[in-house]
Chains A and B, each alone.
Chain A
Amino acid sequence: MVENYAVLPCNGLDKSAGVISGEIAIKLCENEKNEIICPVFYRVTDAKYNKIAGEHPLLVIDGCPTRCASKLAAEKNLKISQKILITEEAKNHHIELNSGLRILENEKSLIEIILNGLNKAEAQHAQSSDENTIQFDFDYETFQNGKFNFRVPKNPQVYYNENDCWAWVFGNRARIGVTDFVQQNLSDILYFTPPEIGAEIDQFGEVGDIESSKALVALISPVSGEVVAINESLVQKPEMINENPYELGWVAEIELADFESDKELLIGFDKYFELMKKKVENTNG
């Protein structure tokens, strides 16, 4: 259930996408814990909505790429927690919107899909907040080569293998992914093949792959165990690995089989940082 948001739709009347944005905002605010922001009123007077926006995380719903609601949020110096672009959602779900301003069958389907998606995302977020008290606050050391930046987390809970994959170990689980070395060398990552949930993985076994126009790279798990979660957003947006392979582009979570044994073959930040620097220098000169 989406709760406690300030919702700013564009509410545009230029096309049905704008009308859909308003409709979604209205439905979300049937839950009293959400607050709607009227974009027209907000342009005229600040006080009421500045207060609301200050008290709630902000969900912006733009109808079309003109992004009027996002622009309004930027003008008011608001921090946006989440954004939806109706035309993009329609495209992703292969729904054709009518050229008028009516909410017809297709538009209703899209509204339902978006609302379900929002509710599901909130539920997952709540569940992971409940289940994991772990905070993945990465503390980076950065190495620069030319204009490439290579970040390496120096948190003691993070371990590395020589295949440039990392594992953040928390309790009996580990979250895993690739380092900046991999994503910088691959350039734009276009495809992500996740592992299966429930799959048993050996240490140094393959746990999915990522592919750019340059190369296909198998992900080599630093740890052994069972895959219990994957980063589903990477399936649609594998480029998040390029954006940040640690916080946004983590690949999977593994329930550990025998970390004490696995650990003996892993390295920590100090060794990995030096190893990565050498690799970068050898690759790029």
Chain B
Amino acid sequence: MDKKVKVVPCSGIGKVFGLMAREAALETVIELCPDTSETVCLAYIVTGDKEAKAKIEGCDCITVDGCPKMCAAKNVSLAGGIVIEEIKVLDTVKEHKGKQFGSPTQLDADGETVVNEIAAKIAKKINEKK
């Protein structure tokens, strides 16, 4: 079985927090942990397609959710992924009270700062699993 940790963001299109979830996941798999992690498309997993399920079933997964609906955490778990960490973007956002982060299309500097912090948390968890 593929030993890479699967990082699955919610990628919610309506909120800046969905964009942050997506960008944090990409930052992790592209820059921070390219050899030990990869991303999987949540929508594809949720279609129930067998090929999609096979990608995460029994694999260590880190989910990144932009809002309390927790779409990634719930659905990865239902599809058989072993969720080793549920990252909530809002937990990090709350540490930056009073700041604006951009829009669901484009992050500003504060948004990028939060993304980097979240990516670092994800990378830390991935490295602990090594």
Which A residues are in CB contact (< 8 Å) with B112? none
Q: Is A239 an interface residue (CB 8 A)?
A: yes
**Cα distance, A243 to B68, chains bound together (Å):** 9
Contact call B68/A188, Cβ cutoff below 8 A: yes
Q: Of all chain A residues, which has the CB nearest B85?
A: A65
Contact with B along A236-253 (1 / 0, CB 8 A): 000100110000000000
Q: Is A125 an interface residue (CB 8 A)?
A: no
Q: Is B124 an interface residue (CB 8 A)?
A: no
Contact call A213/B100, Cβ cutoff below 8 A: yes
**Cα distance, A71 to B78, chains bound together (Å):** 8
Interface centre among A187, A188, A239 (most CB of B within 10 A): A188
Which A residues are in CB contact (< 8 Å) with B38? none
Contact call A188/B67, Cβ cutoff below 8 A: yes
A208 to chain B, nearest CB (A): 16
Contact with B along A122-152 (1 / 0, CB 8 A): 0000000000000000000000000000000
Tell whether A65 pairs with B68 under 8 Å between CB atoms, given A191-B94, A213-B93: no
Q: Is B29 an interface residue (CB 8 A)?
A: no
A228 to chain B, nearest CB (A): 28
Contact call B77/A67, Cβ cutoff below 8 A: yes
Contact call A213/B83, Cβ cutoff below 8 A: no
B77 to chain A, nearest CB (A): 6
Residues in B77-120 with C-beta less than 8 Å from chain A:
77, 82-86, 90, 93-94, 97, 100-101
Q: Is B64 an interface residue (CB 8 A)?
A: no
Contact with A along B33-56 (1 / 0, CB 8 A): 000000000000000000000000
Which A residues are in CB contact (< 8 Å) with B97? 190-191, 211
A67 to chain B, nearest CB (A): 6
B59 to chain A, nearest CB (A): 12
**Cα distance, A64 to B63, chains bound together (Å):** 13
Interface centre among A188, A213, A239 (most CB of B within 10 A): A213
**Cα distance, A67 to B78, chains bound together (Å):** 10
Contact call B90/A65, Cβ cutoff below 8 A: no
**Cα distance, A191 to B84, chains bound together (Å):** 27
Q: Is A66 an interface residue (CB 8 A)?
A: yes
Contact with B along A183-220 (1 / 0, CB 8 A): 00001101100000000000000000001010000000
Which A residues are in CB contact (< 8 Å) with B63? 65
**Cα distance, A188 to B73, chains bound together (Å):** 18
Contact call A242/B86, Cβ cutoff below 8 A: no
Contact call A66/B90, Cβ cutoff below 8 A: no
Contact call B77/A66, Cβ cutoff below 8 A: yes
Contact with A along B58-73 (1 / 0, CB 8 A): 0000010001100001
Contact call B85/A187, Cβ cutoff below 8 A: no
B82 to chain A, nearest CB (A): 5
**Cα distance, A239 to B85, chains bound together (Å):** 21
A210 to chain B, nearest CB (A): 13
**Cα distance, A64 to B100, chains bound together (Å):** 32
**Cα distance, A162 to B48, chains bound together (Å):** 47
**Cα distance, A66 to B77, chains bound together (Å):** 7
**Cα distance, A170 to B12, chains bound together (Å):** 41
Which B residues are in CB contact (< 8 Å) with A71? 77
The interface of chain A, by Cβ under 8 A from chain B, is 64-67, 71, 187-188, 190-191, 211, 213, 239, 242-243
With A64-B84, A187-B15 already in contact, 9 other A-B pairs whose C-beta atoms are closer than 8 Å: A67-B83, A71-B77, A188-B17, A188-B90, A191-B97, A213-B100, A213-B101, A239-B90, A243-B68
- Name the 9 nearest CB pairs between A and B, nearest first: A65-B83, A239-B68, A65-B86, A190-B94, A66-B82, A188-B67, A66-B83, A67-B77, A190-B90
Some 6 contacts from A to B, beta carbons below 8 A apart, are A66-B77, A188-B68, A190-B97, A211-B97, A213-B100, A239-B90
